[in-house]
Structure 1
Amino acid sequence: MPSTELPVLFTCAGSRGLRATWAAEEAGVDVELKLLPFPPRFTAPEFLEINPLGTVPMLVDGETAMTESCAIAHYLASKGGDRSLVVEPDEADYAAYLDFTYHADATITFPQTVYMRFALFEKDKGWGEAGQAYAKWFWKRLVKLEQRLESREYLCADRFTVADICCGYALILARKVGLDEGVPATLKAYRERLIAREGYLRAVEREAAGPAAI
């Protein structure tokens, strides 16, 4: 018989794990949310016994263990009764869906994380100039999203999908960490559409009220 245990999502409130929490809420998939203090590899060393990388999010679903936020979002969306969040292989925008879902971390979020290190977490080391260089790099990398959304409401298949969750999170993070100056107005409007969704609001509320992890 299949396991009746819920998938367990380890995360930090507002981190990349929000993609997974958001996808679960949109798809109507129950997960057991375990909130960790940030950064967990230092503040919750016992978490290293579960995930030696010490990174969040991490999803444990039976024998399945996943540590990539975009992959977890896709996985959870695929488990939902309504699969509209996922673009299927026989749909015209399948390739675009894959491309933008992976684009979210590989191209957009990467310069953000380096900026955050130089400009926020280690700013006392005098690396502000390097941080600003990565800020400009991030802004330049938004061009693909901007062009894609010139004539459409969502990225793929004329509907809200995991690709929007993954790329949208990067825009949400940009405002949170002081990178909004170079975000185009069209992408800010896109972000406003995303964060007005009930699934997003539920995800944020749930992370804010989540139980301690370990």
Structure 2
Amino acid sequence: MAEKILFYTHPMSRGRIVRWMLEEVGTPYQAEIMQFGTTMKDPEYRAVNPMGKVPAIVHGKTVVTECAAICAYLADTFPEANLAPPVKERGDYYRWMFFAAGPLEASVTNRTLGVDIPTERQRMVGYGNYAEVIATLERAVGNNDYIGGYRFSAADVYVGSQIAWGLQFGTIEKRQAFVDYVARLSQRPAYRRATEIDDALVREMKAAS
């Protein structure tokens, strides 16, 4: 597809995940910086994402929201970037992408908000409990260089971002497997480019405020 991607984001949001993914893909994109509580809630943007949140992308006539979905879409749309394994080898790729979007994010959010799930109610919750989620994730990133095994993929962009933020803000326990995994990912040129762009935008916003 030749269309340039329109990328709605804010440098202090989950949009950082998608910028990293876009830099990995290497396709041209135009970033539109949205503001919390104002332009994100405008009717014009709600026509793109009714939730009034970022990130979102528009690619031709295709609109995609939700970070995991955007990462998966970009990996499939630009196969030359080699960010998704062959279909027959995608078991771990899908598993961990959606594990991070579901159990990991839900358990970390609830723990951060002080939501304690009673033991007798844990079977009603998709993730069970935080301790099991973290232990499962630790084994996954500790057994291989990448979340899906031997090769880097879009799942690493998404899962790695979740872990990196959790370590930074203290919402995920600082275990050596997590530290080592994030260190490997942060050496990627695309990660560094994306981080430099968003960090520069944050500095500009702070200087202007």
TM-score, with length taken from structure 2: 0.79
Could you tell me whether the CA contact under 8 Å between 2:142 and 2:178 is conserved in 1? no
Equivalenced residue count is: 189
* 1:138/1:174 CA distance change after superposition, 3 Å: farther
Counterpart of 2:69, as a letter, is A
Q: Could you say which residue in structure 1 is the equivalent of 2:160?
A: 168
* 1:154/1:12 CA distance change after superposition, 3 Å: same
Counterpart of 1:164, as a letter, is D
Residue 4 (structure 2) pairs with residue 12 (structure 1): no
Q: Measure the CA separation in 2 of the matches of 1:14 and 1:193.
A: 23
- Aligned residues with identical type, % of pairs: 25
Residue 102 (structure 2) pairs with residue 111 (structure 1): no
Could you tell me whether the CA contact under 8 Å between 1:87 and 1:157 is conserved in 2? no
Could you tell me whether the CA contact under 8 Å between 1:28 and 1:81 is conserved in 2? no
Q: Could you say which residue in structure 1 is the equivalent of 2:194?
A: 203
Counterpart of 2:26, as a letter, is G
SS of 1:82's equivalent in the other structure is helix
Q: Measure the CA separation in 1 of the matches of 2:85 and 2:137.
A: 18
* 1:27/1:34 CA distance change after superposition, 3 Å: same
Q: Measure the CA separation in 1 of the matches of 2:168 and 2:131.
A: 15
Counterpart of 1:107, as a letter, is P
Q: Measure the CA separation in 2 of the matches of 1:172 and 1:86.
A: 21
Could you tell me whether the CA contact under 8 Å between 2:146 and 2:152 is conserved in 1? yes
1:56 to 50, 54, 57: 54
Could you tell me whether the CA contact under 8 Å between 1:19 and 1:70 is conserved in 2? no
Q: Deviation per CA, 1:173-205, whole angstroms, max 9, x where unpaired?
A: 11332325x231111111111112111111112
Q: Could you say which residue in structure 2 is the equivalent of 1:101?
A: 97
Residue 142 (structure 2) pairs with residue 153 (structure 1): no
Root mean square deviation, CA, Å = 2.5
Q: Measure the CA separation in 1 of the matches of 2:176 and 2:140.
A: 14
Point out where structure 1 has 5 or more consecutive residues left out of the alignment.
119-129
Could you tell me whether the CA contact under 8 Å between 1:10 and 1:56 is conserved in 2? yes
Q: Measure the CA separation in 2 of the matches of 1:17 and 1:138.
A: 25
> Once the 2 structures are TM-superposed, how far is the Cα of residue 43 of structure 1 from its aligned partner?
3.0
Asked which structure has the greater RCO (Cα within 8 Å, sep 6+), the reply is: 1
TM-score, with length taken from structure 1: 0.77
